[in-house]
Chain A
């Protein structure tokens, strides 16, 4: 029998290989995030693309794309009947959670890695501060931690598409605030000291929900 890590990786691998074949999630999310950035930029007057506003636009795009990607992750499972198949495996429910969470995390990181440089160019920011990578990572972990849980819940309710953002956005709001504020600071040249407390907020969020979500996941998945 495989170890827990082995089973987790098996789930992640299944998701990644199926995505490699179709590439449907990655391409649609990248296109969507870019569209959000462009559309929101319509509201800007020239010279208004300050670092704080640009940070807001970036994270609105990432949040909406994140919500879409998270929803898709379980909708596909449910539609293809994979969810029941997964549940028949004698796998501890928290491993199921971890696997789904890691695969969606991987997808989102790939999307963000593509969008970030484009964003820097489109909104004419002065450069790519390395802190951005850390901010994005912490925030995305937070998104994936609660998003996986809520996506699994939403997919089983009657108002699927709307339910997921309704659950996710209020709960993830501290991460969104922290991401926007720290990104704004970092884009205007501040360094680690200025964003330390925001990173702390995201780290605390990640720690708490990475600990609690796997525990409650079984109540969401049970038939």
Chain B
């Protein structure tokens, strides 16, 4: 099939580009950027934590858009895209939580701080889980796609309110400030490159995962022909 071959070339090209930018990011993170004063070396986790967090949110935005498109057109390709994005989003969200926890311990002394970012991420994690479970526990495929799409829409609309509530909660218990003196130019550059690298990674993984679902659906169709 023509599109399968094209898919492979695009995917591999994207993955290659991702690899290059990621290497550049690693250099910036570990060699170029100076160590931050208050937190020391551990602060470098920031350059992974934030891009992962940004992409976790981006993945959910993609789920949102694809959910709407699926409900309108009932074209399974939107469902495949949405579910793949949710899977990758869950993965990234899990990594955000893990890196956040590992960063918190040496920085503030406790494993978990209930600060707005981490708490909101935790709730996003649960919404992702609910999304994936709803499609897994549906009684048949189209119902799973429909229900997941509804949750994708509701969940995404919920995220800003969750963020609002948690920030409000925390202003009454201010959590420790992040950096003394804010972000310097070198820190900003490193952060941006890292964000680009992880966004490219997200895009590559998304295409890879979606084409895999496409293959699986194709197999189902072929098997039906055979009966």
- A-side residues, CB < 8 A to B, are 146, 149, 153, 156-159, 163, 166-167, 169-171, 173-175, 177-178, 181, 197-198, 201, 204-205, 208-209, 212-213, 216, 219-220, 222
Contact = CB atoms under 8 A, between A and B. Distances in A.
B138 to A, nearest CB: 6
Interface residues of B, number: 30
Contact of B150 (A153, A169, A209): A153
A216 B153 CA distance: 9
A219 B149 contact: yes
B147 A153 contact: yes
B33 to A, nearest CB: 35
Pick the most buried of A157, A197, A209: most chain B CB atoms within 10 A of its CB. A157
Interface of B: 71, 123, 126-127, 129-130, 133-134, 137-139, 143, 146-147, 149-151, 153-155, 157-158, 161-162, 164-166, 168-169, 172
A141 B149 CA distance: 23
Among the interface residues B153, B157, B162, which one has the most CB atoms of the partner chain A within 10 A?
B162
8 contacts: A153-B134, A157-B134, A163-B134, A163-B137, A170-B130, A181-B172, A197-B168, A209-B157
Contacts of A212: 153-154, 157
B146 A170 contact: no
Contacts of B158: 170-171, 174
Residue of B151, B157, B161 with most partner-chain A CB within 10 A: B161
A167 B164 contact: no
A163 B123 CA distance: 16
